[in-house]
Structure 1
Amino acid sequence: MAMLQQEHASRKPLKSTAAISRFSNILRNWQLYVMISPVLAYYILFHYVPMYGIQIAFKDFRINKGIWDSPWVGLKHFDRFFNSYFFERLISNTIELGLYLIVIGFPIPIILALLLNEAKAERFKKFVQTITYAPHFLSTVVVVGMMMIFLNPRYGLVNQFISALGGDTVNFMANPSWFKTLYVLSDVWQTMGWSSIIYLAALGGIDTQLHEAARVDGASRIRRIWHINLPGIRPTIVILLILNLGSVMAIGFEKVLLMQNNLNLASSDIIDTYVYRSGILDANYSFSAAIGLFSAVINFLLLVVVNAVARRAGGTSLW
């Protein structure tokens, strides 16, 4: 008994010492905590606090009754969505557009970063970086407005060029078969430069002695890129690929909504735009919350599965 009391007494100073050490560490690095506090506040206020409202997906929410007093209906809204006329179209359009973005949009920043890393002329390199970075700072409204002007069937530059070659004008924005291609290509144009920054940073961390040794051995530039640069940035590529695949259902509705019209609805209607129509325009808050929760769960499951596959295949993962 005395030994137990002695052991218990000896643990208290250890715990207090650890607490003092943590507190002193915070005081010593207070600048870092001040810098990160706005980010933490943003996520707490706009991402974690709203999770309280997830429960309305299982209720018939009424504004006058509030969340707690609204009647509980279980999986009624999920069943309604799964059996709705639009379910198959929404799922297929969302997945197709998300995968299209990854297949086309994901490799291009990697290729751009590899090419810029090999460029020797600094002026040319800075010029290309400026040209490719600039579209990132344009708002989505401006980008879609530019698309409408260039692709206008009467006076658009693209259709004028087609007419000059003897072809028939095409109403690109109203054609469902063109919607996904236009969305992806415009997204690549707007984001490829900005997305390449992280790969350029990863390439900058590769030991230059590896390239010097390969050059002495007679390796060509292509072989050095393939055997040194790509393996050097592989962990970065894998992490970003996991994050992209884990958000394949979360495309975002702003650009889709701006490009959407009644003529291309068969190809442009995705889960997020349907949630907007149901939740904001039709005031079906519980129904739209159920759809949003379903999409979030699918994204979470994809993230877990892809992360597990990446960890087993190459040893690189988020956790």
Structure 2
Amino acid sequence: MTSTPPPSASPGADWRIDRDRAITLFGPAAHDWPIEIVEETGSTNADLMARLKALPQKANALARPMVRVAYLQTAGRGRRGRTWVAQPGDALLFSLAAVLPRPIGGLAGLSLAIGSALVDGLRTLPVAAPGQIALKWPNDVLLEGDKLVGILVETAWSTPDATAVVIGIGTNVRGAEALAAEVKALNAAPAVPGTTPTALSRAWPHANLTDTLAAELNALEGALQRFGAHGFAAFQARWNACHAYAGREVVIYEQGKELLRGAAVGVDEQGQLIVDTPGGRETVTTGDVSLRLAGNGA
């Protein structure tokens, strides 16, 4: 685990990742992962994508996942090209690179599997009402109905027996009110449930980057192994058990236009959302679509 603070950084600042504590909290596998911590970068996803593209395209090209954490990302982004807004110390921003033993066609549901693992990891922290940490299809983790974590999966290359992926994860740890105000100013639109940002400190006053990083990486280690062996089918039941909108009326939008609406049932073995509509049961595939509770705009 390496870190590269700038000369002006104050090593004792309490919001920074405590290397010794993190190592104590990491499970056996995470101890073996290369973990870099940098002060600033454009995008941790872009950094690791470049490294993966330089590797030979083989299933054994990367012995173990590698992680890159940045206190500040100047070109961070989320799903559908959205900008990720965060101040240093307020959010845990990292990307994880891995080569999974599956062709690209076998990666359906990967972002949902990652979300399921993150819920389990975050629920190990001393948060009030851990059951309020739940999942929103396709790739958000919610806390008390508001957005806590965003996930972005990108593919560097694929062969018939392996795919190199970068998984970007942004978790709001502190400063929820300031973040919500900044996002509102940028969007110039009313807040929509499920998209309004919140932070772990809402349910855990002592929320910090160190414990959050350890909890998430410990959960992801086993999840990557299970997904590589069994795909999303191994996560389907758990995802459905943590589904924030189960049984509630939702609307699916595609490029801002309503695509369908109905009662959200859950997800199938491919990670597709199952919706009971007036015309019958429909499945929705991830793509350029967004989900909202009925009664809220796109």
Same fold (TM over 0.5): no
Structure ranking higher in helix proportion: 1
Structure ranking higher in strand proportion: 2
Structure showing greater radius of gyration is 1
The alignment's TM-score, normalised by the length of structure 1, stands at 0.22
The alignment's TM-score, normalised by the length of structure 2, stands at 0.23
